[in-house]
Every structure is written in structure tokens, then in C-alpha cells.
Amino acid sequence: MNPFAIFNRHPASELSAYIDGQVKSERRATIERHVDGCASCRSDVAELRVVMTTMGDLPLAAAPRSFALTPNMVARPVAASEPRSMPGYVGMRIAGAGVAAVLAVVVLLDAGGVVNESGSGDDSGSTALNFAETSDDAPTGAQLDMSEYDEFANDLEASASPVERAGGAEETKAPEPTIAPGSAPADATQEPAAGGIGGALDGENATTTPDEGYIADAPVATDPVLPVNADDSDAAATDATLDNEALRTVAAGEDNGISTLVIIEIALAVFAAAAVAGSFVLAYAVNRGSNRD
Amino acid sequence: MAAVAQTHSDDDLDLIARARGGDLGAFNVLVERYETPVFNLCFRMLGGPAAEDAAQEAFISAFRFLERFRGGSFRAWLFRIAANACYDEMRRKKARPAVSLDQPRGEDQRPFDAPDNEPTMEERAANTELRQALQHALDQLPAEQRLAIVLCDVQGMDYAEIALVMDVSLGTVKSRISRARFRMREMMMERRELLPDSIRQSGEEQ
């Protein structure tokens, strides 16, 4: 019995490396002395050896089959990894591009309407300009409407975020200057138009929002159901101006000039909504499909 | 088997060079050379049929990333890829436990072509039971300890090469092997009756 063994901590954590000869020589001698005089460590060493022997005696399993690579195996992962991530982006890009293109057309038509109508006479000025006039008459009402629009637009913009990620929103915001030459009320036509992207995502609101963008001068437009009737331009004009006396005459005067534009815009908006919804569904389906692999 | 793999190392480099040039045939010579140790590593790590997938995945990855092999021990490099394939497989198993629950543990065991010299019926039965108990004990270890003890005691690698495979320091290798062996000891001592007489005696005599 080694008298020093009592004073040494059991080198348990080193015994494994000690057995493998992986301990430096000075330390090795110390451990050796300890083990010699310590029954507990001696039994540890013996049992660790049993583990090593038993594990070492485990027979090697023959490979159950050949793992030789075929040209297919080598080609597959490279080819598979690209389409796996692509369809989602492609879907989003198509959606973004589609929305941007349609909105660009809408905005151009709007701008065209502004130019044509403002050139045609005093009374038949652009709707944006008319709104500017009426807001002078009823500043309080206009202010209220603005805040409602803001809320609405914010809500829609929140839901529009997926499109923003696709880069669609940036493009749609770009044409702003063409419509709104500075006047604050004219901006009101902007926001619902921008919100229109978000609305298009929902599908239900989709058909209504572009109208709101167009007839933003009508405070009623905050009710998203009304403009759906705009096919009947008379009804739309009446509805839109119900709450605002000052607007009624203006809107009535605009009827003939606006109606075709409104219809075209509704059609485009429906198309945009369908395109966006479709491509999202497609992108979703493709993603799910690729995740399953 | 360790010795066999090492004697090939010069020849390995030649094959690797050719495989890098796109010679799949040259690479498949390497596959043939290493498939048994690689499969066994995966088998001990995963303890089931997933080992086959992991081994195949390892060779595919090795071929694809052959450019990244910077000399040294090809076996260590290949084992590292195989170990990663096993970790991937474990994560997959954890994510979809229902798949692995379909098969009861005992039946996961592949029949070994054991190089036993005509064992008696009893010996064979005892061996099978011991192997299953060992694999079960291995399965209980944390993955990095399992990898360490399998590389050391089953594959017969030295500490330095294990450090390469696991990409850790020599000290970490030592402590992982040590912990794994102590845990395996506990579990084996509970099933002491399964150990062959010769081993049991050697454990008890000191």
C-alpha cells in the first residue's frame, strides 16, 4: 500500500488516457503510483479495460450494399438544390412585377385623366383638383377623412408587407410625383392607391381599393363596399357624394368622362388581385412541395 | 482495419487527384476502400437502418466537396463528413420521431456477418444479446461522446486523428473518451452477466 495514495486525489478523469498511454511521462508516474496503492482506482482501470476490450471486439458489419456513386447521385443534389429555393422567389418576383405593371397602367390612366380633364374646362377639372377646392370649403371634413384614410392605408400597408418584400411596393411608390403635384389633399388619392396592393392580397377588398384611390375625393370611399357598384356610374357618383353636398355637382359633371376610366381601372385591379393571389398560392404550394422533399 | 486504411494513404492521394478531375471511377475505388469503416461508424452512431443513408450521403458529400480536402489523413476527413452526416440524420430523426418509432429497437439491428469462428448456439445468442446491450448503451451517450468512443475503441483511431475528425483539441478528445468509457462501464456492469467469461475475469482479477 502506497502511503501517498491517501493524500492524492483519485485521478479518475485521467485513467482513460492513462490506459491509452496518452498521459505525459511525469504525470504518468504519479498516476501509476496512485493506482498501485488505490484499490478503487485499480478497479476503475480494470473495468475501463473491459469496456475497451468489449468495444474493440465488436465485429465490423459488412457494408450492406455498395456505396459506389453513380453519375446520377452526383448530379442530383446540385440540380435539386437550385429549384428548391427558386420557385418561391420567382413567384414573388412575378407577383411583384405584375402588380407593378398593372399599377403603372392605372397610374398612367389616372394621370392621363388628370391632364385631359383639367385641360377640358374650368368646371370639369381633375378630381384631385376638385377635391382640393372642396376641402377649402369644408376643411374639417377633409381633415377627418384624411385621418380615416391614413388608418385605412396603414392597415392595408401592414398587410402589404409580403409584396414589399418582393420589391413590388417600391416600384408602385415611384410614380407618386406624376399624380400628386404637391397638394396635401391630392396625397389622399395616393394612400389608398398604395393600399390597393395590400387590399389585393385579401381578395375581398381588392376590387374596391383602386376605386377609393381614384374617387378619394369622396369621403364615402372609406366604406369599402360602395365603389363596387361603380359599374353603374350614376349610382356610384351619387353614392360617393351623398355625404358631401359640395361634391355632388362636381362628381355629376365628371360622370361621363370618368366612367370608362373607372371601369378599366376596376378591371385592371381585379386582374391584379387575381394575379397576386394566384402567384402567392402558387409560391406557397411550390414551397410546401419542396419542403416535403 | 485501421492498419489497412493507413497503408493506402499514398495511393489515396493519387485517387483523390483523379477524382477531383471528375473521375468518378477513381473516387469509387476510394468508396470501396472506406465503405466498411464509414458504414460501421454510421451504424454505431445511429444504431439502425439510417446508417445506410448517412453513409451514402457521406460519400456523396465527400465527392462534392473533394476540393476542400487539404491533404493529411483522408480517412479523418472522410470520417468527419460521415460524422456530420450522422448528426444530420439524428436531427432529422428528432424532428420526425414518428418515423423511427415505427420500428422497434431490437429489430433495427442488422444481422452481423460476425467473424466468429463457428460459435455455439449459446455463444451466438449471448453475443447477439451483448451487442444489442452495447449498442443500446451507446445510444444513451451524448452524440459527441459516442463519436469519440466509437472512433477510439471500435475504429481504433489514435487521439490525434480523432481530434482531426472531431475538430477539437486533444484535451477535449481525452475527456470525451474518458466520460464515454465511464458511462459505458456503468451500463456494462449492470449487464455484467452478458460479458464473456474471459473478459469478466480480467475485469475482476485486479
What HEC string does B172-201 produce?
A: HHHHHHHHHHHHHHHHHHHCHHHCCHHHHH
pLDDT at A134 over 80: no
CB contact under 8 A, B203 and A50: yes
Helix axes B24-46, B74-95, angle to 10 degrees: 50
Smallest CA–CA distance, residue A32 to chain B, in Å, is 14
Which residues of chain B make contact with A73, given a CB cutoff of 8 A? 56, 60
Position A46 scores a pLDDT of 93
* Chain B residues near residue A53 by CB distance under 8 angstroms: 199, 202
In 3D, which of B105, B100, B154, B94 has the Cα closest to residue B133?
A: B105
Q: Where are the alpha helices (DSSP H) in A20-126?
A: 25-37, 39-57, 71-120
- Classified as helix, coil or strand, B156 is coil
Which ranges constitute the DSSP H helices of chain B? 2-7, 9-20, 24-46, 50-64, 74-95, 97-101, 105-108, 121-140, 143-149, 159-166, 170-190, 197-205
For residue A231, pLDDT over 60 is answered with no
Confidence (pLDDT) at B11: 85
Structural contact between residues B31 and B78, judged by C-beta atoms closer than 8 angstroms: no
pLDDT for the residue numbered B168:
96
- Alpha carbons A146 and A191: distance in angstroms, whole number: 10
Q: How many CB atoms lie within 10 A of CB B106?
A: 9
SS3 A255: helix
Q: Find the closest chain B residue to A51 by CA distance.
A: B185
Residue A207 is predicted with a pLDDT of: 37
Which chain A residues touch B181 with a CB distance below 8 Å? 16, 48, 51-52
CB-CB neighbors (< 8 A) of B204 in chain A: 46
Q: What is the pLDDT of residue A145?
A: 43
Is this complex scored with an ipTM above 0.85? no
Q: Which sign, positive or negative, has the C-alpha torsion B56, B57, B60, B62?
A: negative
Considering A80-84, A260-264, B14-18, B118-122, the range whose residues carry the highest mean pLDDT is: B14-18
A95 band by pLDDT with thresholds 50, 70 and 90: low
Amino acid at B52: E
> CA of A191, closest CA in chain B: separation in Å?
45
Residue in the block written with cell 385605412? A152
What pLDDT does B49 receive? 85
From chain B, the residues in CB contact with A65 under 8 A are: 52
Rounded Cα–Cα distance for residues A270 and B107 (Å): 59
With cut-offs at 50, 70 and 90, classify the pLDDT of residue B190: confident
Sequence-distant (≥ 6) Cβ neighbours of residue A167 within 8 angstroms: A93, A96
Q: Is A77 a residue whose pLDDT tops 80?
A: no
What pTM was estimated for this model as a whole? 0.52
Q: Judge whether A144 and A243 are in contact, CB under 8 Å.
A: no
pLDDT at A112: 64
* pLDDT of B206: 47
3-state secondary structure (DSSP) of residue A166 = coil
Which of B153, B183, B200 is the best residue to mutate to test the A interface, defined by the most A CB atoms within 10 Å of its own CB? B153
Q: Which three cell numbers stand for residue A237?
A: 357618383
Q: Which of B36, B178, B199 to mutate to test the interface with A (most CBs of A within 10 A)?
A: B178
Q: Which of A236-245, B95-104, B179-188 has the lowest mean pLDDT?
A: A236-245
Distance CA A160, CA A201 (A): 7
Nearest by Cα to B67 from B20, B24, B18: B20
Q: Is the pLDDT of residue A142 over 80?
A: no
Nearest chain B residue (CA) to A41: B206
Q: Which of A188, A232, A236 is nearest to A213 (CA)?
A: A188
- Where residue B118 falls (left for φ over 0; alpha for ψ -120 to 50; beta otherwise) is left
Q: What is the band of A125 on the pLDDT scale with cuts at 50, 70, 90?
A: very low
User: What's the rounded Cα separation, in Å, for the pair B40 and B156?
Assistant: 12
Q: Identify all chain A residues contacting B38, using CB atoms and an 8 Å cutoff.
A: 67
Q: For residues B190 and B179, which has the higher predicted lDDT (pLDDT)? A: B179
pLDDT at A138: 39
- Closest by Cβ to B63, choosing from A51, A53, A74: A74
A64 touches chain B (CB under 8 A): yes
CA dist B59 and B10 (Å) reads 20
Q: Mean pLDDT, to the nearest integer, of A41-56?
A: 93
Going by pLDDT thresholds of 50, 70 and 90, the confidence category of residue B58 is very high
A42 interfaces chain B, CB cutoff of 8 Å: yes
Cross-chain Cβ contact B35/A51 below 8 Å? no
- Nearest Cα neighbor of B138 from B160, B124, B120, B153 is B153
Q: Report the chain B residue with the minimal C-alpha distance to residue A77.
A: B60
Query: How large is the average pLDDT for residues B177-182?
Result: 96
What is the structure's pLDDT at B119?
62
The answer for B47, left when phi > 0, alpha when psi is -120 to 50, beta otherwise, is left
In which residue are the cell numbers 397576386 written?
A: A276
Are the Cβ atoms of A15 and B159 closer than 8 angstroms?
no
Question: How is residue A132 written as a grid cell?
Answer: 382640393
